Structure 1
Amino acid sequence: MSTKRRRDYYDEDDNNGEEYENDAVFANGSKSQKVEVDLSLLEALEKSQSQNKNAVEVVDLKTLKKLVLSFERKLKDNIEARLKYPNQPDRFADSEIDLHDDLHKLSILAGAPELYPDLVNLNAIPSILNLLAHDNTDIAVDVVQLLQDLTDPDVFEDDEESDEPARVLVDALVENNVLELLVQNLQRLNDSDPDEMAAVYSTLTTVENLVEVKPAVAEMVCERTKLLKWLLGKIKVREFDSNKQYASEILAILLQNSAANQRRVGQMNGVDVVLQAVAMYKSKDPKSLDEEEMVENLFDCLCCLLMPLENKERFVKAEGVELMIIIMKQKKSAYSSAIRALDFAMTKYPPACERFVDVLGLKTAFAAFMGKIPVNKKNKKERYQEELEERIVSLIASLFGGILRGSRRERLLSKFVENECEKIDRLMELYMRYSDRVKTETERLNHLELDDLEMDEEEKYNRKLESGLYTLQLIAVILGHIWCSEHPYMRARIELLLKQQKLTNKDVKDILQEYHDNIGDLDGPEEKERAQAKIQKFISAF
């Protein structure tokens, strides 16, 4: 415990916690006496902690009961001392240090998670959590650290049975308002103070741990607390620090699998806040790996937010399309992330596609499609190149799906005619590469079946999707759009390239048919019928 943190024990009175403004700190003593007491308490605490390190106890039910009993006694002593001497911090400082010490002792339980149900049955959880609102923020910080230790995922095994004690603990914590208390404590911490900055990090870690054990916590914490408001406020700050990075990560986790949270953040002007945060990197690269990770987190947040239709509308109104194009043109490290965000924005949302064409995004997009991407250490990696290819193919498929007629459609189609149909050549190059990958994976899966490995058709299909079938299907869809334009020059080019690879229109039709047969009804039966009708039109045309 730092000298500063210990000093806080004496800096409290009943006048809103203001510091004493003169040297008469104690009723019967001088400032020098305060320093002497402070140092003696420091020595006592360090001696106590040293003894605890050397004492190794077997963690069993008996130990647990002893720890809880001791903790309850120290808590009672502290409450009584504070009530008896509210204006004399020196009279309750010793009980505060004892309480701090016992909270640290309880962290030994992280080594025996099987005892968590017993901890709950001993009714210790309410007493521990009430300390999150303790007048001394150091005690609240101790509780946060304890909760972080007890809920650490490394404490638990991966099997279902070993996770049960963790669920019992987390359920008890949630029932006793841990989420509300954690966020209230978070709001009162001073993020510019080094000690309290660490407490902020521990609080966010605890929230992440709770979500990992009980995924429903992701929506609970957003319904019951102002955590989202705090996180958005944190990522708005221009200066980078570790807690801004962690705030971006927690926000991404909360948005990841929750449509309710995505809508909630959208209603809080969150789309605009995230756009402002990523805009800081439109013409500069992050200065460190941690800052780079934060930027990726911010784009993860943006992509999650772009799932609900109403947030796509907010994105377009906030000029998100224009910002992403600027980021692509600047060719900094956020280049591929901007393409990903545009793809999410334009999927099944024609207004975003139209805006993209209107603000001259086609030239930038097709430069990426042709492989003219910025080169740096990161994107030299083969997997990065593949992900970028897959994303830009998806983006172009979204454009074709969103722009069905008019001058914008003509501008899109004209891109495949210019420079002697070079973009059709590129499309067929990608078609062949992904087709070969899917064939290789299909042969591998067939061999696995011969080895008596059970695999149903759905699993096989999903494996093929992961190996590149989805991108191959999108390429076939783009070819379908071009073919249905009935442009003789483009049709002739496609037929020539298929013939050169000893393929026919039937090969494209087969891919489209498989895509047609596997379209799901996630968006409802009517949407499924519309999607299948569109693909059937391509099949018939070929």
Structure 2
Amino acid sequence: MDVTEVFNNAEQTPNRALPGNSHQGEKRPAGDEPDVVPRKISAEEHKRRLLELVEQAEDVPDSIDETGLKRMILSFEKRVNKNQELRIKYSNQPTKFVDSEVDLHAAIQELHVIATQPNLYGILVQFKAHSTLLQLLLHSNTDIAVAVVDLLQELTDIDEDNQEDSGIDSLIDALMDEQLPLTLVQNMDRMDESIKEEASAIHNSLGIIENIIDVQPELTVTIAKQGILAWILKRLKLKAFEANKLYCSEILSILLQNQTEVQKMLGEADGIDILLQQLATYKRNEPSSNEEIEYMENIFNCVCSILSLNENRVRFVKGEGIQLMILMLKEKHASRNCAIKVLNHACSGDDGGPCCSKLIESLGLRAIFPLFMRTPKRHKKAGPNQEELEEHIISIVTSLVRHSEGAQRQRLMTKFSENNHEKIERLLELHFKYLERVEVVNKKVEKEREQLLKYGEVDEENEEEFYMQRLEAGLFCLQMVDYTLVEVSQAGQDVKNRIFEILRMRGASSKVIKTVVREYADNIGDAMDEDDRRHEQERILQLVDEF
């Protein structure tokens, strides 16, 4: 905003109430500038003060040295103290302390220059300026708090290339020692998002959290415990979609990623129900914008993250999450492909049994197998791509085969016999597709192994790297497909006959399938205890022998 615009605004709103003063119940109009103007002053006086602020902002240097920073901090502290004294002395007379408030706001703006020289952050900490800034986050005048949030966001937004040479770690440590996340939550709780500046302050507060986690990921759990997780869950409940709700979903996704303790906290806070309520909107409705698509995907990713814990899978089933995902599969909306990904996370692994059982019980086979027979295309704006979708669907079917028991297993196995064994044909189609890819990478890996042997030996780390290359190239899907073939061959002689008939038609051998499944058994269950791992290996190898 230039000076002319400032003057125009001054003429339009010469008597704006001071936020946080004794005139309770009066709101600052949305869109006003964050400087503070008392009641009953003339438009000319308002112009003069605004012009002083503009001139002060123009006088702020582009850089500063250590001595200059110390002087700036001392000046800042004096203005803070003066404002506090006048507010106490004239608590019922805002016109008496408004000038000190304008001066304090200007002092905060001056401190932005420090962000250009993060190597000086240590001086901020040394002179306890960070502590003063945290106190000002709860200043009675929300304009002051907004200005402090804006400053802290800029101070913590460090370019990764310059991080090592900066004092950002010392600043973050100092801020966290004084419970910055908790103070941010207290400040956000009093913000009115119908006012543009205060909505922006909430966005910048979330930006501070993101900046801190980028620099020190190990603080994620501490940040979540200081009220940020609870505040985000509460904020997501608001129905209207806008920028801050999107940012909340992004921060929540960051908090949950690979953080078991935070995932547990969310489950215990009934966060799974909140997430499912958010997703229910997209059961039959499309997101209205690209931003809302991003929001929807963030919430789906959050659900995937929390399902790594068994106790959260139990809550997911209890909250009818499986049924919601099945309903989404039946629609061709943006949510369908994301729901496929969630079901894979729910059903896979050693703890996937209850989710698989609920999926079959809820008639989910009718929704899964048409997608298995023909992998859906990626939605034009959302969800995994077609290759990823195929992998998710194969994994779901494999999990169902692995975990189903009793009458549910019989229902599942019947699916592989119906319609002239079309699903067996699909399994073998996938087998040959991924086998071809794996054979290509096998040749590449063998050449790399030969090169290493020329100059030394192939160690365990090399072998693990080779195995990962093969998994990424298609071995993972091939293992799932071939394991499923071995399992369903137990469904009846007609199924087994059809498998071998197709293999003969393609000039292929069952030995390849056996070799793939044996390798799968050798590498299964790293997360299992030794007895469970050995038992599962023996079960799979027995299936191979009977194939």
User: What are the superposed Cα offsets for residues 426-465 of structure 1, whole Å, 9 maximum, x if unpaired?
Assistant: 1111122222222222333344456669971112222222
Alignment of 1:393-404 (within 5 A): 393-404=394-405
User: What are the superposed Cα offsets for residues 152-177 of structure 1, whole Å, 9 maximum, x if unpaired?
Assistant: 14x23177x44x73222211110121
2:361 maps to 358
Distance in 1 separating the partners of 2:504 and 2:79: 84
TM-score (ref. length: structure 2): 0.88
1:387 maps to 388
- Letter matched to residue 364 of structure 1: A
Distance in 1 separating the partners of 2:126 and 2:439: 58
1:428 maps to 428
1:96: Cα distance to partner? 1.8
8 Å CA contact 1:145–1:202 kept in 2: the answer is yes
1:157 maps to 161
Give structure 1 stretches of 5+ with no counterpart.
21-29
Distance in 2 separating the partners of 1:390 and 1:126: 51
Distance in 2 separating the partners of 1:297 and 1:433: 32
User: What are the superposed Cα offsets for residues 250-286 of structure 1, whole Å, 9 maximum, x if unpaired?
Assistant: 1111111112211211122111111110000111111
1:375: Cα distance to partner? 7.0
1:209 aligns with 2:211: yes
1:479 aligns with 2:482: no
1:376: Cα distance to partner? 4.8
1:377 aligns with 2:376: no
User: What are the superposed Cα offsets for residues 481-519 of structure 1, whole Å, 9 maximum, x if unpaired?
Assistant: 11233x112112222333344432221122122222222
8 Å CA contact 1:156–1:166 kept in 2: the answer is no
1:146 maps to 151
Distance in 1 separating the partners of 2:14 and 2:152: 22
Determine which of 30, 41, 53 is the counterpart of 1:45: 53
Relative to structure 2, which stretch is displaced further, 111-120 or 453-462?
453-462
2:318 maps to 317
Determine which of 177, 183, 198 is the counterpart of 2:185: 183
Distance in 2 separating the partners of 1:475 and 1:7: 73
8 Å CA contact 1:113–1:156 kept in 2: the answer is no
- In structure 1, the residue corresponding to 2:167 is in which secondary structure? helix
Determine which of 486, 490, 494 is the counterpart of 1:489: 494
TM-score (ref. length: structure 1): 0.89
User: What are the superposed Cα offsets for residues 103-136 of structure 1, whole Å, 9 maximum, x if unpaired?
Assistant: 2222222222222233322322211211111111
1:374: Cα distance to partner? 6.4
Distance in 1 separating the partners of 2:181 and 2:238: 24
Distance in 2 separating the partners of 1:8 and 1:218: 41
- In structure 2, the residue corresponding to 1:116 is in which secondary structure? helix
1:296 aligns with 2:297: yes
1:123 to 1:298, Cα distance in 2 relative to 1, 3 A? same
Distance in 1 separating the partners of 2:218 and 2:147: 26
1:250 maps to 251
- Letter matched to residue 55 of structure 2: K
- In structure 2, the residue corresponding to 1:456 is in which secondary structure? helix
User: What are the superposed Cα offsets for residues 311-334 of structure 1, whole Å, 9 maximum, x if unpaired?
Assistant: 212211221111111111111011
1:101 to 1:426, Cα distance in 2 relative to 1, 3 A? same
2:540 maps to 535
- Letter matched to residue 472 of structure 2: E
1:507 maps to 512
1:269 maps to 270
1:79: Cα distance to partner? 1.9
1:368 aligns with 2:371: yes
- Letter matched to residue 43 of structure 1: L
8 Å CA contact 2:133–2:148 kept in 1: the answer is yes
8 Å CA contact 2:17–2:26 kept in 1: the answer is no
1:459 aligns with 2:459: no
Distance in 2 separating the partners of 1:521 and 1:346: 18
Distance in 1 separating the partners of 2:246 and 2:428: 41
- In structure 1, the residue corresponding to 2:137 is in which secondary structure? helix
1:98: Cα distance to partner? 2.1
- Letter matched to residue 485 of structure 2: L
1:71 maps to 76
8 Å CA contact 1:434–1:469 kept in 2: the answer is yes
Distance in 2 separating the partners of 1:324 and 1:218: 29
1:86: Cα distance to partner? 1.8
1:214: Cα distance to partner? 1.4
1:521 to 1:94, Cα distance in 2 relative to 1, 3 A? same
1:9: Cα distance to partner? 6.5
User: What are the superposed Cα offsets for residues 10-33 of structure 1, whole Å, 9 maximum, x if unpaired?
Assistant: 244357x4449xxxxxxxxx9552
User: What are the superposed Cα offsets for residues 344-395 of structure 1, whole Å, 9 maximum, x if unpaired?
Assistant: 222233222122112211011011111163675348x9x7110110000111
1:40: Cα distance to partner? 2.8
Identity among equivalent pairs (%) = 36
1:330 aligns with 2:331: yes
- In structure 2, the residue corresponding to 1:150 is in which secondary structure? helix
- In structure 1, the residue corresponding to 2:330 is in which secondary structure? helix
RMSD, matched Cα: 2.7
- In structure 1, the residue corresponding to 2:152 is in which secondary structure? helix
Distance in 2 separating the partners of 1:66 and 1:276: 53
